[in-house]
Structure formats: C-alpha cells, structure tokens
C-alpha cells in the first residue's frame, strides 16, 4: 500500500469509498504494472487509474493495457490516458504493402492542431519523468456511428430514403475534417467505423484515436482514403454486406448469383462494395463512388478533395430523389 497514493485520494476525493490504494507512478514505461487505484503523476497533476480500456471488435473485447480510464484528481474530471506504446506491422491492400506503426508524438501533434475543433476528440499531452509521451483525453459521451446506424429500426429502403441523406451530409463534414488534417500534412492513420463517434446531445460526429501512422509512397494519404471509403460503404448498406449477412437478410438467389469477385472490397475481401446490385434504388452517382474501393477498380481516389466532389454530387442527387 502506498501512503502517498492514499493521501492524494483522500485529499482530492474525500468521499471516496476505495478500500485499496496503489502506487504513484511518475514513469509510465512499464504500463502493464499500472492498474486500478494507482496514481499517475505528470508534472504537478495527478490521475487516479480506474481501469484499462477495452478494444471491442468482431464481438470480442481485449484489454488495452496502455490506455487507462481514470480521474484527474485536481479537477475531479474523468479522463482517458494513452500511455506510450510502440508497434509496427505491414498491411496489404490490393497491390500495395503499407508499413503501419504507432506514434504517440504524432497523436500529440494532432491534438494540438485540432484544439477547439469539435470534429475531433480533444485533449493534450504531457511527458512523464522518463520522457514518455502521455495523451490526456476528454471522454466523448456517445456511441459509435456504425452502432447508431445499425440500431435505426427500419428496413434498408426506408433507411436509405429517410435517414441516409442526413447521415451522408454529416459524414461529408467528417471527411472535410480529414481533409483539414491532410492540408496540414497530417494523417489520421486509423480511419475505421469504431473511430467515428456520434456525441450525445449535440449529434456531432467526432474522430478519435490518431496515434497510428503509415508509409505509403504511392499516395501519402492513401490509407486514410481507403478508410473513408470503407465507412461510406457501411453507411450506404446499413451493414457490412457479406455473403453471410445477405443470406441472413433473405436476399434472393438472383442477386446472390449476380455477384462476382469484382464486386467485393479491395480492403476487406469478403465485403460487398457494389451495393447497387443488392439494393437497386442506390443511385449511380453513389455506387460509382463505392466502386472506387472495389477489387475491380483501376482508378483510386488520390485526395480527399476528389472524394468530396463526388460525394457532394451524390448528396445533391439523393436529396432530389
């Protein structure tokens, strides 16, 4: 038991019912050793650790030991602390091999760049005594965009005509936020459905998690573009359209038999991009955008500007339907 940790908690949280008091960490290098009831000290500020965050994908949850949910003792505000964690791995998309890696200081730069811009998560960074960069993040109250879309209790046709236009309009604004990063020579680095949240109350779409970076010499921002396309495909289909989900939806055999290899994603090979084959009322302008991310394409978007031009044309057409 650490008397220092106990005294800090008693001072700032006098009504706390905690029965266990951990240690005070000024060096976060060994983040696996930092757990519930420990205190992280950054400069003159103190953060009580409550739990490790979880990575929830494909119905599974894995602890992210380098990401701690806690409370800023001086203010009492709940916050998330992302500790320095490094990894590097290759990713293959079509003909491209992309080297991906984590960069805490890249995320710190972006937090500074987007300060006050509510299209992005907010926070700041601090260095511990060992020089590790720690990002201190405000918690976004809300749900992932894909969860919000999935939970709209209507059939696809009703969704597409009554809900999708407003969703697309807001998503275009989210794409403009990524263009803002690119204009400042920064990349999001890990654009995917669970990294775009809908804030409760405001309904704002907000990007989270900027610590991935990548090297793609053919197009420095290419991976971000593939990520934007993958989200758009999900929004258009109101689901990940795979052969399995199509069977679960009771899709007719004539539609299933019409699909070929070129109708699937170049990023995730079992996901259908040619949504128009499934839902015939999808307009050509939108389906043409989606097909830029199909395995059959020979033309990729080079910039977010190019994608935005086509998406705005889609929005105008869809609103006129």
Structural domains of the chain, with CATH = 3-83 (2.30.30), 142-319 (1.10.510.10)
pLDDT at residue 321, rounded to an integer: 61
Q: At what angle do helices 222-237 and 304-319 cross, to 10 degrees?
A: 20
- What are the tokens at 222? 């290419």
pLDDT surpasses 80 at 61:
no
pLDDT surpasses 80 at 162:
yes
**Strands of 133-138's sheet, edge to edge?**
24-25, 39-42, 45-57, 60-72, 78-82, 133-138, 123-127
pLDDT at residue 166, rounded to an integer: 97
Arithmetic mean of pLDDT, 103-124: 97
Q: At what angle do helices 222-237 and 164-183 cross, to 10 degrees?
A: 170
Return the DSSP state at 162: H
3-state class of 272 per DSSP? strand
pLDDT at residue 1, rounded to an integer: 47
pLDDT surpasses 50 at 216:
yes
pLDDT surpasses 80 at 62:
no
H or E segment to which residue 117 belongs: none
* Average pLDDT for the chain: 92
3-state class of 147 per DSSP? helix
- What are the tokens at 55? 């990575």
What is the pTM (predicted TM-score) of this model? 0.92
Q: How many CA atoms lie within 13 A of 225 on its CB side?
A: 24
pLDDT at residue 5, rounded to an integer: 86
Arithmetic mean of pLDDT, 65-90: 95
**Residue 272's pLDDT band (boundaries 50, 70, 90)?**
very high
Residue of 222 and 204 predicted with greater confidence: 204
């Amino acid at each position: 038991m650490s008397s220092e940790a106990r005294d800090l908690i008693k001072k700032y949280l006098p009504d706390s019912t905690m029965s266990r008091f951990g240690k005070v960490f000024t060096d976060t290098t060994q983040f696996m050793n930092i757990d519930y009831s420990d205190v992280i000290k950054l400069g003159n500020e103190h953060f009580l650790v409550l739990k490790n965050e979880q990575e929830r994908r494909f119905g599974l949850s894995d602890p992210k030991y380098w990401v701690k949910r806690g409370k800023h003792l001086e203010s009492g505000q709940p916050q998330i602390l992302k500790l320095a964690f490094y990894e590097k791995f290759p990713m293959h998309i079509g003909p491209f091999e992309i080297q991906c890696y984590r960069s805490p200081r890249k995320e710190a730069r972006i937090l500074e760049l987007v300060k006050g811009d509510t299209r992005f998560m907010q926070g700041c960074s601090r260095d511990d005594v060992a020089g590790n960069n720690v990002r201190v993040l405000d918690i976004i109250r809300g749900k992932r965009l894909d969860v919000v879309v999935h939970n709209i209790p209507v059939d696809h046709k009703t969704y597409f005509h009554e809900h999708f236009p407003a969703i697309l309009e807001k998503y275009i604004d989210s794409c403009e936020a990524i263009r803002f990063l690119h204009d400042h020579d920064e990349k999001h680095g890990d654009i995917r459905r669970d990294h775009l949240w809908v804030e409760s109350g405001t309904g704002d779409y907000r990007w989270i998690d900027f610590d991935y970076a990548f090297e793609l010499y053919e197009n420095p921002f290419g991976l971000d573009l593939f990520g934007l396309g993958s989200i758009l495909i999900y929004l258009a289909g109101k689901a990940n359209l795979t052969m399995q989900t199509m069977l679960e939806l009771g899709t007719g055999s004539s539609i299933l038999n019409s699909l070929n290899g070129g109708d699937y994603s170049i990023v995730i090979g079992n996901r259908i991009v040619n949504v128009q084959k499934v839902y015939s009322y999808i307009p050509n302008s939108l389906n043409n955008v989606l097909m830029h991310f199909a395995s059959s394409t020979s033309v990729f978007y080079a910039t977010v500007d190019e994608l935005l031009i086509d998406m705005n044309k889609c929005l105008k057409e869809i609103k006129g339907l």
